[in-house]
Amino acid sequence: MTARTTARPTGFRRFERWLVGLAFAILAYVLEKVVLRSVRKKGAAQPADEVTTMISKGGEVDVDLDT
């Protein structure tokens, strides 16, 4: 086994890392709640009303809007 090249983190450093982890966990929880609430308000996705058929031959594109 190789010896540790850096010193063990001090108590303050460990507490700081724990506090940052806790802050990120709270932030992730709040963001998840915001996203879920907006998805619930919006409801189910509406299907597209009209389908556009595009045919490409080379560099030009013909759009068929007769459907």
- The pLDDT tens digits along the chain (67 residues) read 677 788 777 889 999 999 999 999 999 999 999 999 988 887 666 666 676 666 666 666 666 666 5
Query: How many DSSP H helices and E strands does the chain contain?
Result: 1, 2
Q: Is residue 67 within 8 Å of residue 53, measured between CB atoms?
A: yes
**Total number of domains in the chain:** 1
In a domain, 3, yes or no: no
Instruction: Report in angstroms the alpha-carbon separations of 52 from 49, 59, 63.
Output: 10, 19, 7
In a domain, 67, yes or no: no
What pLDDT does residue 47 have?
64
In a domain, 38, yes or no: yes
In a domain, 52, yes or no: no
What pLDDT does residue 31 have?
96
List the domain range (segments joined by +) for residue 21: 10-43
What pLDDT does residue 35 have?
92
In a domain, 32, yes or no: yes
